[in-house]
């Protein structure tokens, strides 16, 4: 894996600044660096050598050097593309995958993107017409950020911390991003927590020319379920395409390992790794927070060399500033810290790992996807009655069984589901935020619901998660936590061909058989023990609920909640009330507390003294 950055236009000491920007992302590519400068642009690159270790250093050029490429990612069908391009008359000077992008762009222009299978962000500078073409992969596995300065110059990079090194980029906090973050627990693209710095969305490309940026979508993860598909046909199709995807994702000139939890997704991936290495982390905080024994059993079953690290409480808490630094933007997913440590463990042994991200979004793996079925009977009642029931139970100050059901059953799908994380309601945000308007999270999901209008509710939930939750949370932490340790993480579920199969599977084979990912679990069962294939979705268990009821960690968080930074943006009396309710066992507020605390940790890293 790699990282790149650059800027257009002239500045004093621009080579020095380019090197500073590039060095800021050395963790993305410690093996080598590369630079290109002309009178219009300065481009920098850091390389983590995976394929063609000797000759594929960047920048790369086409035959007449009219095109300059810098590329982060892997193109899994590059050998087939290379053959096609050689037959069309193109001459290659390397055996790596990056050069196919150059010649493919020469041959097909923007249509190059429809030919690709892989994960990528890349920039191609056209020296003839002085245009810059930047593209990001289909699902957003690889990151891409940019800032358009007031005078029409562009600054771009794989990570925001690199862009901040440019002398004309003003590091300024964007308070509007905080409102969204408090709903979703992550920064909502395309906006970032830094004023003027944008995120290029997945499946989009941008063209910069003459001081203007044009952004276009080139692909959309639309589902088209085939209702007559049988369960056996679905299982056969998943098995075949996933086997093909894992084979493609294992192409490398260095050793490839895999992450292994106790769940079906990583276990399915690991089943292809007999004789190689797998990596697991857990917590030394009771069996509920340590499933390494389950992973060890599967590793033994399929013949994997298994490595485990148990994260201590202090180790976890002490890592938080460093984790938030690498993330660039605040993320309140407690599992991202565990991913940081499993990446650290893996990087001690290999340079590439495969992981199970994306299976839940593509094949229907989250328990919340059952909700349209569980609410179906209740929602046959007139909505006015359901809204009355929700209003009556809503004023009851304590939680009880059935309360959430009655409240959520009174809402439309668009009102009740904003993704897999729903932290603070608009009402709660209004109580919490100081001088920042509290907006309804529906404002940031409605465009995606509109795009898949007419589909069943489960499919619409999946489509929203693919475009919001997966990009803002799952793939952000996967990229940043692995790259923090110069480790390339590959995700074979998030493959264009795998999605083509997933898109055809009817909802009855996704949410069926009393479980989630029904057809995918049956496909996995051909490769792993039934106990692993049928294991319920748990997520990665992190004991924050327990920690926040311990005096030491309660006091650590309370100190942050009373800090000057907290007082600047929050009603601290309300914050302490939420914290004390949890500490005293009155309510589980752990995720809300963690959301605010992670923001404050991040803010201290990037805007502290």
Residue 92 is predicted with a pLDDT of: 94
The per-residue pLDDT of the chain, averaged, comes to 94
- 316-330, 378-392, 426-440: least confident range: 378-392
In the chain the domains, ranked by start, together with CATH numbers, are 2-217 (3.60.20.10), 231-365+465-533 (3.40.50.620), 370-419 (no CATH), 543-609 (no CATH)
Q: What is the mean pLDDT of residues 234-245?
A: 98
pLDDT exceeds cutoff 80 at 313: yes
Residue 295 is predicted with a pLDDT of: 83
Q: Which helix (H) or strand (E) holds 126?
A: strand 118-126
Q: What is the mean pLDDT of residues 30-52?
A: 89
Instruction: Name the nearest CA neighbour of 478 among 366, 368, 359.
Output: 359
Q: Distance (Å, rounded) from C-alpha 278 to C-alpha 259?
A: 5
Q: What is the mean pLDDT of residues 14-34?
A: 95
Write the pLDDT tens digit of every residue in 490-537.
999 999 999 999 999 999 999 988 899 999 999 999 999 888 888 877
Write the pLDDT tens digit of every residue in 390-430.
999 888 888 888 899 999 999 999 999 999 999 999 999 99
Task: Select which of 2, 199, 258, 452 is catalytic.
Answer: 2
Q: Which helix (H) or strand (E) holds 454?
A: none
Strands (E) across 249-300 are located at 256-259, 277-283
> What's the full length of the chain, in residues?
609
Residue 48 is predicted with a pLDDT of: 80
Q: How much is the CA Rg of the chain, to the nearest whole Å?
A: 24
Greater confidence (217 vs 255) lies with 217
Q: What is the mean pLDDT of residues 222-235?
A: 97
- The strand pair at 154-157 and 32-37 is best described as unpaired
Q: What is the mean pLDDT of residues 252-270?
A: 90
Q: What is the mean pLDDT of residues 32-54?
A: 86
How deeply is 330 buried, as exposed, middle or buried, from its count of CB atoms within 10 A (0-12, 13-18, 19+)? buried
Residue 51 is predicted with a pLDDT of: 59
Nearest 10 degrees: Cα torsion 474, 137, 265, 249 = -140
pLDDT exceeds cutoff 90 at 285: no
- In the chain, % of residues over pLDDT 70: 97
Q: How confident is the model at residue 95 (pLDDT cuts 50, 70, 90)?
A: confident
2 counts as catalytic: yes
DSSP secondary structure, 48-97, as one string? ---SSTTT--SSEE-TTS-EEEEEEEEETTHHHHHHHHHHTT---S-SSS
Residue 55 is predicted with a pLDDT of: 59
Q: Distance (Å, rounded) from C-alpha 248 to C-alpha 495?
A: 10
**Between the CA of residue 544 and those of 140, 455, 552, what are the distances in Å?**
29, 37, 13
Whether the CB-CB separation of 432 and 570 falls below 8 Å is answered with yes
Instruction: Name the nearest CA neighbour of 249 among 1, 475, 474.
Output: 1
Q: What is the mean pLDDT of residues 301-327?
A: 94
Q: How confident is the model at residue 296 (pLDDT cuts 50, 70, 90)?
A: confident
Q: How confident is the model at residue 274 (pLDDT cuts 50, 70, 90)?
A: confident
Write the pLDDT tens digit of every residue in 129-188.
999 999 999 999 999 999 999 999 999 999 999 999 999 999 999 999 999 999 999 999
**Between the CA of residue 479 and those of 119, 218, 341, 444, what are the distances in Å?**
11, 22, 13, 24
Nearest 10 degrees: Cα torsion 598, 601, 603, 609 = 170
Q: Is the peptide bond before 59 cis (omega within 30 degrees of 0)?
A: yes
- Confidence (pTM): 0.95
**Between the CA of residue 150 and those of 160, 161, 248, 306, 316, what are the distances in Å?**
18, 20, 43, 53, 41
Residue 320 is predicted with a pLDDT of: 98
- Which phi and psi angles does 530 have, rounded to 5°? -60, -35
């Amino acid at each position: 894996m790699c990282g790149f950055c650059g800027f257009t236009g002239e500045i004093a000491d621009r080579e020095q600044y380019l090197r500073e920007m590039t060095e800021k992302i050395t963790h993305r590519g410690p093996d080598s660096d590369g630079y290109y400068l002309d009178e219009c642009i300065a481009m920098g690159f850091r390389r983590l050598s995976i394929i063609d270790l000797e000759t594929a250093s960047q920048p790369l050029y086409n035959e007449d050097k009219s095109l300059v490429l810098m590329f982060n990612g892997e193109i899994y069908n590059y050998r087939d593309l290379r053959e096609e391009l050689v037959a069309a008359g193109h001459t290659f000077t390397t055996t790596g995958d990056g050069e196919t992008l150059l010649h493919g762009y020469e041959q097909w222009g923007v249509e190059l993107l429809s030919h690709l299978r892989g994960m990528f962000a890349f920039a191609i500078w056209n020296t003839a017409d002085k245009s810059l073409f930047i593209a990001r992969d289909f699902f957003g596995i690889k990151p891409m950020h940019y800032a358009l300065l007031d005078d029409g110059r562009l600054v771009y990079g794989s990570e925001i911390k690199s862009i901040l090194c440019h002398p004309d980029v003003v590091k300024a906090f964007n308070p509007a991003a905080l409102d969204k973050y408090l709903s979703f627990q992550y920064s909502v693209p395309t906006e970032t927590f830094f004023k003027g710095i944008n995120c290029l969305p997945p499946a989009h490309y941008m063209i910069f020319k003459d001081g203007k940026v044009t952004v276009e979508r080139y692909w959309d993860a639309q589902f088209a379920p085939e209702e007559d598909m049988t369960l056996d046909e679905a299982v056969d199709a998943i098995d075949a395409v996933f086997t093909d995807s894992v084979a493609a994702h294992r192409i490398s000139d260095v050793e490839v390992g895999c992450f292994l939890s106790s769940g079906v997704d990583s276990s399915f991936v690991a089943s292809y790794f007999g004789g190689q290495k797998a990596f697991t982390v857990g917590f030394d905080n009771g069996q509920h927070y340590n499933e390494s024994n389950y992973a060890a059993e599967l590793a033994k079953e399929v013949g994997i060399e298994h490595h485990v690290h148990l994260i201590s409480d202090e180790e976890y808490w002490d890592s938080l500033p460093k984790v938030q630094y690498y993330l660039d933007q605040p993320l309140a997913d407690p599992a991202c810290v565990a991913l940081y440590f499993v990446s650290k463990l893996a990087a001690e042994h290999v340079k590439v790992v495969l992981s199970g991200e994306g299976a839940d979004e593509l094949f229907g793996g989250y328990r919340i996807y059952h909700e349209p079925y569980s609410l179906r009977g209740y929602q046959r009642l007139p909505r006015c009655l359901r809204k009355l029931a929700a209003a009556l139970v809503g004023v009851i100050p304590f939680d009880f069984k059935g309360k959430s059901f009655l409240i959520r059953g009174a809402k439309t799908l668009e009102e009740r589901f904003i993704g897999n994380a729903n932290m603070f309601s608009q009402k709660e945000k209004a109580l919490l935020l100081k001088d920042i308007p509290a907006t309804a999270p529906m404002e940031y999901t409605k465009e995606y619901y509109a795009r898949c209008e007419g589909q069943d509710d489960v499919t619409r939930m999946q489509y929203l998660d693919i475009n919001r939750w997966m990009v803002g949370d799952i793939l952000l932490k996967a990229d940043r936590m692995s790259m923090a340790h110069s480790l390339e993480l590959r995700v074979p579920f998030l493959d264009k061909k795998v999605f083509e199969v997933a898109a055809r599977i009817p909802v009855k084979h996704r949410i069926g058989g009393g479980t989630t990912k029904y057809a995918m679990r049956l496909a996995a069962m051909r490769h792993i023990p039934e106990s692993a294939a049928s294991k319920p979705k748990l997520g990665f268990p992190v004991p924050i609920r327990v920690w926040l009821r311990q005096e030491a960690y309660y006091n650590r968080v309370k100190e942050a909640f009373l800090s000057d930074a907290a007082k600047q943006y929050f009603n601290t009396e309300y914050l302490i009330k939420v914290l004390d309710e949890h500490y005293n066992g009155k309510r589980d507020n752990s995720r809300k507390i963690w959301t605010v605390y992670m923001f404050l940790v991040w803010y201290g890293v990037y805007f502290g003294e």
